Structure 1
């Protein structure tokens, strides 16, 4: 019997909840429902006049507490959502400091090798990037290329062998091709320098 009574109470509560949808309420109504000092006469009048409060009065004290907690939760969720939206707007206005690109990191690695060899640490990924892009003048400028040639002098093992093989293959390709643009000529000169150094 007690179970059936609880079920009907829950059904009644759900019906009341559907009639008063808090998600569609205006912020003014939410302010009226928020617990304030009972000493403020304006708030006391607005509480008595609001239909939500009348619904709360019809409920048992336990149901009222549950309902108040639920409304409080919904208000907090709404506040968090508004904060998130305002934070997103703020992020759009402010530029985030971007992470350095792989190119920048590799050039810093090369520069630190040339200037501070005691503090310098070998990084395979940086070396691979440098070896793959050493012929590209846009990625490795003419200022850094002489430093890269010095770095290549100390190259050992399979990295040295594959670099020489790639340089020879590229040289053969450029010898076969007839059209030679200015960028190709600069690339060929870099390839020759690498071959002369490593061979």
Structure 2
């Protein structure tokens, strides 16, 4: 038990309560003396200080690995779909959206997946097959036209060099524009798919 008499303890608690009441009243008076603008300024200042504390704690920078050490990019589902068709057909399931993506991106399929691509597209039937065949033939036709035009230009340039003339700047520009057209690899890919589709027409790819 405490050695302080009960009446003294009661007096002390009353005194402490009075002091607390006084401090609260002074705080209220201080706040009352401040204008609303000043109160807003103080609160905004506190917010800025808190925000600056949070901003100062930046996350650590991501370490960039050299290209050789970087993991390979994730394989697209459509490419996995092709590979599974070729290597694990028992567990393979047809997917219309993936097939549509493949048909739209025949040119951009990586070379490693070309055998799977040819094998898959070679099984197309119905409307998909009927639409694909003329598209593939058109690509080959464009390539053959490009090749013939390129041959003519090479002959013209050789003749000009023999005559001591230099090629025009416009001709050089045209060559750059043509380089963005159909490539030989793409034309050969289209031919391989046509052969797999059992198309009877004999198709020539020039320059192969």
Distance 2:40 2:143 in 1: 78
Per-residue CA shift, 1:153-177, capped at 9, x if unaligned? Answer: 3212322122112012122222333
Query: Could you say what the CA RMSD is over the residues aligned between the two structures, in angstroms?
Result: 3.9
Greater per-residue helix proportion: 1
Q: Which residue matches 1:168?
A: 137
Identify which of structures 1 and 2 has the higher relative contact order when contacts are C-alpha pairs closer than 8 Å and 6+ apart: 2
Q: How does 1:75-94 map to 2 (within 5 A)?
A: 76-83=50-57, 86-87=58-59, 90-93=60-63
Structure 1 residues 167 and 115: alpha-carbon distance in aligned structure 2, compared to 1, 3 A threshold: same
TM-score scaled by length of structure 1: 0.50
How far apart are the structure 2 equivalents of 1:10 and 1:130? 75
Cα distance in 2 between the residues matched to 1:98 and 1:21? 51
1:129 aligned residue: 101
- In the alignment, which residue of structure 2 is the partner of 1:111? 83
Q: 1:15 aligns with which of 30, 34, 38?
A: 38
SS in 2 for 1:155: coil
Q: 1:116 to 1:197 in 2, by over 3 A?
A: closer
**Residue equivalent to 2:74:** 100
CA offset digits 1:38-64 (Å, max 9, x no partner): xxxxxxxxxxxxxxxxxxxxxxxxxxx
Name the CA shift for 1:9/1:123 in 2 (closer, same or farther; >3 Å).
farther
SS of residue paired to 1:144: helix
Which structure 1 segments of 5+ residues have no match? 1-7, 24-70
TM-score, scaled relative to structure 2: 0.48
CA distance 1:17–1:158, shift in 2 (3 Å)? same
Unaligned runs of 5+ in 2: 1-30, 152-178, 200-208
Structure 1 distance, partners of 2:99, 2:80, is: 12
Quote the residue 2:110 is aligned against: 140
User: Residues of 1 paired with 2:95 and 2:86: CA distance?
Assistant: 14
